[in-house]
Every structure is written in structure tokens, then in C-alpha cells.
Amino acid sequence: MKTEEIQAQIISEFAAFDDWMDKYNLLIEMGKDTPMIDARFKTNNHLISGCQSKVWLHAEYVDGKVFFTADSDAVITKGIVNLLIRALSGQSPDDILATDLGFLDQIGLKEHLSPTRSNGLLSMVQQMKLYAKVFKLKAGN
Amino acid sequence: MPDVASIRKLFPALHQEVYGKPLIYLDNAATTQKPQQVIDRLVDYYSQENSNIHRGVHHLSQKATLAYESARVFIAGLINANHSHEIIFTRGTTESINLVASSLGNLLMQQGDKVLITAMEHHSNLVPWQQLCIKHRGELLVTRFDETGTTDLNHFKELLTRKPKIVAIAHISNALGTINPIQEMIRLSHEQGIPVLVDGAQSIAHSAIDVQQLDCDFFAFSAHKAYGPMGAGVLYGKTKWLEKMPPYHFGGEMVDKVNFTETTFNILPFKFEAGTPNVEAVLGMETALKFVKEIGYENITAHEDALLRYATQKLMEIEDMKIFGSSPHKAAVISFQIGNIHPFDMGTLLDKMGIAVRTGHHCAQPVMDAFDVPGTVRASFAVYNTFQEIDTFIAAIKKASAMLA
Ligand SMILES: Cc1ncc(COP(=O)(O)O)c(C=O)c1O
């Protein structure tokens, strides 16, 4: 699926809920499906610096597509990490670089990506895009 | 007991909804909300009095200068300073501490000298001293606290024998709520002839301060933690020190005579107030502290203590609850963690239920290290908080815990 389709799908999954607590319940549940980062990558090298919750991220490049695995020590953060991975994992570097992840705004989670939220998610998005850029450059050689 | 219902009415910010829920503001140790009279004071200043102080012969300047200097006199009286020139206006606690660390620090410190603090200091009362010690190739001595978060006085006495040049201690810990026995710590330090700075950031809104009775050499606080505006605070210092200390910042206002080769400095307190000050915030601070005085510190302390006891008891009923800081002398600050629930998760869900708490390390990373946690959830109370708010808070924690378990 293209990232736009996946993002639209996520929006519709959240559209079923009005109540904030229900949305966060869904998010927490979704966090449990996060493609788990291999234990050997769960090191400081893979840690995304954020003030309050920790996020570890790893990426691999297979057949022109980027695949992400991750983990977090906070379950809400992990839920959002999983949304980002669903949206971006398995996409081409060009598609990853092009998308603006507007779905987070539509499901009311954009605040988590604001620079004032010291939870590292903004850095996570930047890191995912950086991986895409690097893989693209390497593939170009 | 204060009439909390009437007090609440004075605070416009408390009467709003967040995410469709009535706001419950429990982040008072970070900053308190402001009563209408403080907000009005700022507006009145700019509507009717604005002009630069200490400079103009004209009517407005004199009016503003008079208001500014009256605020100094009022605050001197409130904390029982010996003289109003012992009240230096600063931007807040952090600047007050930096002023002393820089000015007195460089006056007293020689190579290899030491400064004594406690392990529960806010970064603002830690980093300036640490940097001073680094500069003089000295050593920062740190007093331990026990598992309840109570300062180990025997350790403090032991460290005093190592002859630090300055002692700097928090009156109340913002991370643990511990009220330090500062009277005793000041007495012990003075026995060794060592001056003491008290970081009063967390105490000025909660307990009456008498600097002469405490006999502290310096006392620092911020207006914004006591219902006042941001950007203004106080450094109280004993005249004998302030006179000896060199200026901290240079510029206008703090000088007497200037030519291109030399400058003589103005008298106290102006020597330490370079440049145009934050006049409106100082006036707002005066209004805020008058508000505090009117309610009465005994009433504020009684209400907040009751809230603290009630909330602590209710929290302790929650499974896997761990409260950090259970000192017998404790202010209305509760730092906690539930099982393995990440403070960020708890804070995020409480926010969505309209409850503002602090999560993280509370600018006291060494305290978190001591308890071996990355951070905590912190609820801190002010005079306008109610028992009903605590009930809602407890129910919200239970709901969030169930979701996060
Ligand atoms: C104990 C303590 N000291 C110092 C400070 C710093 O105060 P300010 O940021 O107003 O300078 C704080 C504020 O959180 C505090 O709680």
C-alpha cells in the first residue's frame, strides 16, 4: 500500500472514536504491534534523544524499500511510533521523504510532534527521513 | 482556613476547560496562576504609569519610580529585611543565585576552595556553584539525603568541617517537597563563619519568611511561583555582604560617575541593578505578595498541608504507588510513580482529562538518579486547589493506570 493510503486508513480507524480516552486506548493497543527492534540494536547508538521517553529506532534497506523497527519505554510514545512505522515502513526513500505525515494532525496527535513536546517524536521523524536520504544516496552510487 | 471558593474566583485562568474538561491545575511548583489584581496591575502600569524609572524629572517617571521603590519597601517588610536596600530586584531565583555565585563567589573563592550544597538542589542552585568550583579548581560538596528525602544533618556537619567558602541550600525541594531545617543549617554554618544562601523559590508562596530570624546571608525567590508575574524576583542579601561584593552586571543605572578610564558605582541596591528593570513585573510582584499576605501565610500553610495529607492518603491507597519524598517536614509537593508506568504516559493521559501535572526530572536530575528513576509525576498544590480537585485527580490516575497497566 502507498503511504497515503495507509495514512487514510489510520485516520478512519481513529474516526470511530470521539472521546480522547478511547483514542488513547486505541493508540496504546496499537503500540503493542510495533515491529520490535532486535535486541542487539537496542543500544545508545539507536536511541533517539528526547527528554522524557526513550525511543530506539533501526532501519534496513531491502529491494529499494526502507523497513523500520523500534521500541519505546513509554506506551503512548510506542503507539505513535507504531503509527509512524505503519505509515513509512516498506516505502521507498522518495515516498518517505515526500510525505508530510498530515494524518497525525487529523487524528489529533500532532501536538506530540511539536518541538515543545520533549518526547523525541519529532527527532524520530527526522531520523526516519534521514535514513531514507542516506539509503537513497547509497543506492545512487 | 482560607475561603478557597472566593479565592478561586480571583483567578481567571482556573476557569477554563481543556479538552472539554474543567482545568485542574496541579503544576504550581513550576508556576502559579495569577489573580486578577496582579493582571490588572500590569495593565494599569502600562495604561497610566509607564516611563523609565530613576531618570526622569517628569511626572510619570517620578510616579513609576515611587511605585517601584515602594515595592522594594513592602517586600523588605514582608520578609523582615533590616533595610530596603537589602532587596535587589532580579529576573528571578536563577538570576539571584547567579549574582551571588558570580560576585560573592569570585570574592571569596581561591584555588581549591569548596562550596557546600545538598543533593536535592534544583539545577539553578547547583550548576552556578558547580561552575564556580570548576573555575577555581575547587570542589562541590554535596549533602546526602535519606530514603525519605530528608537531608542528612550529620553528613552536613561533617562536610562543614571541610571548610567550604559558601553554603547554598534549598528551603523546600521542588522535586521531593522536603522542607530543609534551614534555621539549624544556617546556625551550624555560621559557627564556622560560612555565609549561607537560601533558595526560597518553593517557599515564598507557602511559608512566612523572616530573614533576620533565619539569619541567612542571602535569600532568593521568584515572583511567578507566588502568584506574581514572570521575569521578576528578589535577591535579599545582608548589607555587610552586598557592600563588599563587586557589581555583577555593568551598564546604566548602577553607576555613579563614569569617564573613559574609570567608573564609580552607585550605592545599594542600584549597584546590582544594571539597565532598565522589569518595572511592571516588580509592581505585579508587590501586588501578588500583598495578596499572599492578606490571606495570611498561616492560612495558606494550613490549607496546603491539609491538601497534602489528603492527597497522600488517597494516593497511597492506589496499588503499586511509590511516593518519592516522605520527609516528616514536607510541603505540598508529591512526586510519585505507579508500578512501571512511564511518567510521560501518565502525564499525557491526565492532561487529556484536564489535569495539569509535571512529568520528568523537575530540573533535579541528581534526585532522580538517587531514586534510580528517569522521572516522576509531580502534583503540587496552591492555595486555590480543592479537595474535590484531588478526588477528580485520584479518579483520573486510577483510570489512566488501568489503561496503561
Ligand atoms: C527550588 C527551585 N530553585 C530554583 C528554581 C528556579 O526558579 P526560576 O526559574 O524562577 O529562576 C526553581 C524553579 O523551578 C525551584 O523550584
The per-residue DSSP string of B134-156 comes to HHTT-EEEEE-B-TTS-B-HHHH
Q: What is the pLDDT of residue B336?
A: 97
Q: Is B202 in the pocket of ligand 1 (CB under 6 A)?
A: yes
Q: Closest chain A residue to B396 measured between Cα atoms?
A: A21
Q: What is the pLDDT of residue B56?
A: 79
Q: How many domains does chain A have?
A: 1
Inter-chain contact B344–A52, Cβ cutoff 8 Å?
yes
Inter-chain contact B403–A77, Cβ cutoff 8 Å?
no
**Which residues on A lie below 8 Å from B338 (Cβ)?**
none
**Which residues on A lie below 8 Å from B344 (Cβ)?**
52-53, 74, 76-77, 119
- CA of residue A29 to ligand 1 center, whole Å: 38
Q: Is B124 in the pocket of ligand 1 (CB under 6 A)?
A: yes
Does the B39-294 domain belong in CATH 3.40.640.10?
Answer: yes
- pTM for this entry: 0.94
- pLDDT surpassing 70 at residue A120: no
Q: What is the pLDDT of residue B261?
A: 87
Q: What is the CATH number of the domain that holds A83?
A: 3.90.1010.10
Is A141 contained in some domain? no
CA atoms within 13 A on the CB side of B197: 36
Degrees, nearest 5: CA angle B44-B45-B51: 145
- pLDDT surpassing 80 at residue B187: yes
Write out the residue range of the structural domain in which residue A130 sits: 3-136
CATH class name, domain B4-26+297-404: alpha beta
pLDDT tens-digit profile of B312-350? 999 999 999 999 999 999 999 999 999 999 999 999 999
Neighbours of B79 (CB within 10 A): 22
Cell numbers given for B282: 516588580
- Chain A interface with B: residues with Cβ < 8 Å: 20-21, 24-25, 28, 51-54, 73-77, 118-119
Which ligand 1 atom is the nearest neighbour of the CA of B96?
11
pLDDT tens-digit profile of B137-160? 999 999 999 999 999 999 999 999
B233 within 8 A of B97, measured Cβ to Cβ:
no
pLDDT tens-digit profile of A58-84? 999 999 999 999 999 999 989 999 999
Residue-range domain boundaries for chain B: 4-26+297-404, 39-294
Which of B185, B183, B114 has the alpha carbon at shortest distance from B145? B185
A27 within 8 A of B352, measured Cβ to Cβ:
no
What's the mean pLDDT in B256-284?
92
- The C-alpha atoms of residue B78 and residue B67 are separated, in whole angstroms, by 16
- The C-alpha atoms of residue A73 and residue A77 are separated, in whole angstroms, by 8
B348 touches chain A (CB under 8 A): yes
- Is A51 in the active site? yes
